Amino acid sequence: MPNIVFQHADKRYDERIERYVFRDLNLHIRKGEFTVLVGPSGCGKSTLLRMIAGLEAVSGGDLLFDELCVNELPPVQRGVAMVFQNYALYAHMTVYENIGFGLKIAGIPRAERDALIRDAARQLQLEELLQRKPTQLSGGQRQRVAIGRAIVRKPTAYLFDEPLSNLDANLRGQMRAEIAELHRKHGVTTVYVTHDQVEAMTLADRIVVLSRQGLEQFGTPDELFDTPANVFVAGFMGSHRMNLVPVDEAHAPQLRLLTGSSVAALAAAGVGTIGARPEDIEVVAGTDASVQLVERLGAESLVHLAVGSAAALLTALTTDRSLAFGHARSLRVAPDKLHRFGLDGQRIAS
């Protein structure tokens, strides 16, 4: 179970062009942790995972497993196991044969191989399916087979590349719980790529937030949610998007309602953007805002409200089921729940 460390690492595909996927990346994935990589499409999440696996070369700097530089080490010698988005199962093989294929290639004796396969099948509830072919399985069962193939190898690290994206919502929830339980049992260093906010927040010990400009923030789910480092992280993390209000005259009514301050006062303090999570905004009696849309989410509703003449709406999460289009209300948020960002987009300490 190694520490996985990127030291001033670069990644680019054409040495003649100064266009980097990553440049001067410094990242320490700690031994035994469940680390999740999130970010928009094209930011390099899967590329980073493939660099750890050895499927992509490091263009500059170093990638270390503990103290060992693995830049030139081939994938087979890195001791990691990767679970792909498309399962990558052999259609002509049974579940039993798919799970044990890597062991067979490695020359593991048949008796030992059989014990490892059946133990993995038991953990993943595949014991009754061992003689079926992949075409006879559901999506969730196929994903379990792919995970089983990784488990039997006893790797030093697990690498998951959006493994649940092909599953429906119910199966995703079930598989999340199973992956979390596997990590709890084995404690193996795990790096997991996803675009799903819920997966990231529920599975991770720590989350790496990436953008096309590189690493934006690395921390626990609570740190990223409560103290986002910049406007990008604030807008990206959270199942309900944070309200981000620019400090300008067009948004003066919203800013005064949220902060009690004028645009001039906020600008003089170096504030470029005010953020407020829907969960922290209370809908109260008043006439400052007008309900434009109500999204019913079950016990809660996400309410979109217009304030003044600003085109952008503020959203608030509420349990008030009486709200409907056109209702007049006001908004209230505790000052310590507001997020302030400077003109450069970086967080301003409270």
Q: What is the DSSP string of 250-266?
A: GGHHHHHHHHS--HHHH
Say if CB 292 and CB 313 are below 8 A apart: yes
The pLDDT tens digits for 219-230 are: 999 999 999 999
What Å distances lie between residue 171 and 143, 166, 176, 182, CA to CA?
10, 10, 8, 16
Is the confidence at residue 25, as pLDDT, over 90?
Answer: yes
Percent of the chain with pLDDT over 70: 98
- 3-state class of 244 per DSSP? strand
**Residue corresponding to tokens 């919502």:** 169
Residue 17: what pLDDT? 64
The pLDDT tens digits for 130-150 are: 999 999 998 888 988 998 998
Distance CA 150, CA 116 (A): 11
The pLDDT tens digits for 318-346 are: 999 999 999 999 999 999 999 999 999 99
Distance CA 136, CA 236 (A): 38
Residue 188: what pLDDT? 92
The pLDDT tens digits for 164-219 are: 887 777 778 888 888 898 898 888 999 999 988 888 999 999 999 999 999 999 99
Helices (H), 63-127: 95-105, 110-123
Distance CA 281, CA 337 (A): 9
Distance CA 51, CA 68 (A): 15
Say if CB 208 and CB 35 are below 8 A apart: yes
Residue 332 forms beta bridges with which residues? 282
The mean pLDDT value of the chain amounts to: 91
The pLDDT tens digits for 58-69 are: 999 999 999 899
Q: Per-residue pLDDT averaged across 124-133, rounded?
A: 92
Residue 105: what pLDDT? 87
Residue 69 forms beta bridges with which residues? 64
Q: At what angle do helices 139-151 and 95-105 cross, to 10 degrees?
A: 20
Say if CB 305 and CB 289 are below 8 A apart: yes
Q: What is the DSSP string of 112-174?
A: HHHHHHHHHHHHTT-GGGTT--GGGS-HHHHHHHHHHHHHTT--SEEEEESTTTTS-HHHHHH
| Sheet hosting strand 243-246, strand order edge to edge | 243-246, 271-276, 339-342
Is the confidence at residue 16, as pLDDT, over 70?
Answer: no
Name all contacts of 101-106 with Cβ < 8 Å and 24+ positions apart: 101/149, 102/149, 102/152, 102/153, 103/152, 103/153
Residue 164: what pLDDT? 83
Q: In the chain, what are the domains? A: 4-235 (3.40.50.300), 241-342 (2.40.50.140)
Q: How confident is the model at residue 84 (pLDDT cuts 50, 70, 90)?
A: confident
Say if CB 103 and CB 117 are below 8 A apart: yes
Residue 335: what pLDDT? 93
- 3-state class of 51 per DSSP? helix
- 3-state class of 240 per DSSP? coil
**pTM for this prediction:** 0.89
Residue 18: what pLDDT? 67
Is the confidence at residue 1, as pLDDT, over 70?
Answer: no
Containing 185, the helix (H) or strand (E) segment is: helix 169-186
Is the confidence at residue 310, as pLDDT, over 70?
Answer: no
**Listed residue (250, 249, 247, 282) closest to 268, CA to CA:** 247
**How buried is residue 322: exposed, middle or buried, by Cβ count under 10 Å (0-12/13-18/19+)?**
exposed
* Cα 57 from chain centroid (whole Å): 24
Instruction: Kindly state the DSSP code that residue 176 receives in the 8-state scheme.
Output: H
Is the confidence at residue 315, as pLDDT, over 70?
Answer: yes
